[in-house]
Amino acid sequence: MDRVIVFGATSAIAAEIAALYAERGDALHLVGRNADKLAALAQRLESARPQTTAADLDDLPANERLVWRVIESLGGADVVVIAHGLLGDQLQSEHDLGVAEQIIRTNFMSPVSLLIPLANHFAAARGGRLGVISTVAAERGRPRNYTYGAAKAGLNTYLQGVRSRLYSAETSVTTIKLGPVETPMTENHRKNALFAQPQVVAREIVAALDSRRSEVFVPKRWAAIMPVVRLAPEALFQRLPFLSGR
């Protein structure tokens, strides 16, 4: 039985990840902002008797204490998933520094504030699996979401360093480069065939953590798509509305 912590547990994808670990009989601690949503998720997973903590993960100074408290409650941690994020409003972020700062805070600084104590835990424990949900938007700056993508790109680089640091401690660090998923976060987006379902991506994410992958595109098809997007010459990229348009 693993001891599993999920930060941002009430998101659609994280809830499905938690459900998969609950089915295995693992010990769970679920952390999220909304106490009512946490209670509903705990009721859904009541057979696993998950522990829950309501916390604002944008409260950066409080996150170190939060991490150690949650780890202590489970008697340790074998698997940790960081799943929270904020897409935000790209157009507003281009005119309002406060909006841009919030997007960067939630998607970069907040995960880093969790990763500092988590990395210290795993370095001492010498073993475990750490997974962090990022995005395909981090692969290249596009006008429709480059503030969000830039924050996640910074997170990806940070995770590369954490992964190398924890290699000798036999701890895997998996960067999950997620494509668009049908969730409340994308409810106002025009849907197409590339959108995936939360249950599908949750299974791929748990499989990637089980196999201790370093970086993984989810769903898998993005592993073929994103190198083309990332490597397209700028002069060509800017002439293709489906890539460079809003």
β-strand pairing of 128-135 with 79-82? parallel
pLDDT at 191: 61
Q: Does the pTM of the predicted model rise above 0.85?
A: yes
- The Cα 177–Cα 171 span in angstroms is 19
- The Cα 223–Cα 234 span in angstroms is 20
Q: What is the mean pLDDT of residues 94-104?
A: 98
pLDDT at 232: 84
Tell me the pLDDT band of 31, cut-offs 50, 70 and 90: very high
Residue 204: what residue type? E
Tell me the pLDDT band of 215, cut-offs 50, 70 and 90: very high
Q: pLDDT tens digit string along 114-136? A: 999 999 999 999 999 999 999 99
Tokens linked to 171: 């701890």
pLDDT at 101: 98
Q: Compute how many other C-beta atoms are within 10 angstroms of the C-beta atom of residue 58.
A: 16
Peptide bond preceding 219 in cis form (omega within 30 of 0): yes
Highest mean pLDDT out of 193-197, 199-203, 238-242: 199-203
CA 93 to chain centre: 21
Whether pLDDT at 97 is above 70: yes
pLDDT at 187: 58
pLDDT at 245: 63
Q: pLDDT tens digit string along 231-246? A: 888 888 888 776 666 6
- The Cα 229–Cα 243 span in angstroms is 8
Lowest mean pLDDT among 53-57, 97-101, 155-159, 227-231: 227-231
Domains of the chain: 3-244 (3.40.50.720)
pLDDT at 98: 98
Tokens linked to 162: 């954490």
- The Cα 29–Cα 44 span in angstroms is 14
Lowest mean pLDDT among 131-135, 169-173, 190-194: 190-194
CA 30 to chain centre: 14
For 140-194, strand residue ranges (E) read 171-178
Sign of the Cα torsion 23, 31, 33, 106 reads negative
CA 197 to chain centre: 16
- The Cα 95–Cα 70 span in angstroms is 38
Contact 62, 55 (CB under 8 A): yes
Tokens linked to 163: 């992964």
For residue 9, the 8-state DSSP code is T
Q: What is the mean pLDDT of residues 158-163?
A: 98
On the 0-12 / 13-18 / 19+ scale of CB atoms within 10 A, 130 is: buried
